[in-house]
């Protein structure tokens, strides 16, 4: 089969849309004979007729009906190529990598990225869900372009507050702590295994936040921590946005210890959208920052 051309597919689809060769010629500002020659050439290269011309208006043959969706897809793909290429030439990023701390509220992420797909349909997003230290490292070493981080990170990043992470201590109803009614001395927490989010050893800074138990189990993802707490293996802090439904349904019990040595028991901190100071962001990255802040 000789090389097919984009123009042949365009003429083919336009005939279907306009309903006749004459109307297609007017729309494309060509002679009708040129339209006829183009479609005849496409039929010759395909090996079968695409239109039945025995009636007043051309009607698609079975082969033509089968190939019409593919022709439309080819035209759409080429249009997408042109739009994306134009965007890249104007500075639009082809891909953005976002490092996200695992405590980030899912509703925030889904709202912003849902709008992003409409605003930048050709920009690919890669999401790295990490612990606090690992998310900061991904941004620091250039693996990520943007980061949703805890405000407590060093001042090496440009950052803007876009939310707040409130942690709540919880345990399963079957856990000894979950059976305590009302407030209790915070020292009791020392006696029960605490589940703690921690990165892989090579990324661990050695800093712990809100850790009170003598025995602590370390996991590197929030879902595993949640599953173990729900199973009654231990107690731990979770983002309130993540477990408020479980607390309301009594699947988890919110623990109410007294203040820990005069300070808040569980840390609460701003969530920031951050990027490296020396990193020049394109239009999609800048859009993400403004959207996260405005949400």
- Domain range annotation of the chain: 6-90, 93-294
Return the pLDDT at 81.
82
Domain 93-294 has CATH 1.10.1660.10: no
| Per-10-residue mean pLDDT, the chain, length 295 | 84 90 90 90 90 88 91 86 70 89 90 94 92 88 92 74 90 94 87 85 53 81 94 93 94 85 63 85 90 88
| CA 236/CA 242 separation, integer angstroms | 13
Q: Top-level CATH class of 6-90?
A: mainly alpha
Return the pLDDT at 201.
55
pTM: 0.64
Return the pLDDT at 206.
52
Query: Are 24 and 15 within 8 A, CB to CB?
Result: yes
Among 50, 55, 62, residue whose Cα is nearest residue 14? 50
Return the pLDDT at 243.
94
Return the pLDDT at 262.
44
Return the pLDDT at 156.
73
Return the pLDDT at 97.
96
């Amino acid at each position: 089969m000789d090389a097919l051309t984009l123009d042949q597919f365009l003429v083919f689809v336009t005939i279907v849309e306009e309903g006749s060769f004459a109307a297609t010629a007017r729309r494309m500002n060509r002679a009708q004979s040129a339209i006829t020659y183009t479609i005849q050439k496409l039929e010759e290269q395909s090996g079968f007729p695409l239109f039945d011309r025995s009636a007043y208006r051309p009607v698609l043959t079975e082969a033509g009906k089968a190939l019409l969706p593919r022709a439309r897809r080819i035209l759409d793909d080429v249009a997408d190529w042109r739009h994306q290429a134009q965007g890249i030439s104007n500075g639009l990023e082809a891909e953005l990598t976002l490092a996200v701390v695992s405590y980030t509220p899912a509703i925030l992420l889904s709202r912003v990225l849902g709008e992003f797909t409409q605003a930048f349909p050709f920009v690919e997003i890669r999401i790295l869900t990490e612990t606090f230290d690992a998310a900061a490292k991904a941004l620091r070493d250039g693996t990520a372009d943007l980061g949703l981080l805890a405000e407590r990170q060093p001042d090496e990043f440009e950052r803007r507050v876009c939310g707040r992470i409130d942690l709540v201590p919880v345990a399963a109803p079957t856990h000894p702590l979950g059976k305590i009614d009302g407030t209790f001395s915070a020292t009791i927490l020392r006696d029960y295994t605490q589940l703690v989010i921690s990165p892989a050893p090579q990324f661990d800074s050695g800093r712990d936040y809100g850790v009170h138990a003598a025995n602590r189990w370390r996991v590197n993802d929030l879902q595993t921590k949640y599953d173990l707490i729900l199973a009654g293996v231990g107690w731990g802090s979770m983002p309130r946005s993540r477990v408020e439904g479980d607390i309301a349904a009594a699947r988890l019990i919110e623990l109410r210890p007294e203040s820990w040595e005069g300070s808040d028991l569980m840390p609460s901190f701003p969530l920031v959208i951050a990027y490296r100071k020396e990193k020049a962001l394109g239009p999609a990255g800048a859009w993400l920052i403004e959207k996260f802040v405005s949400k």
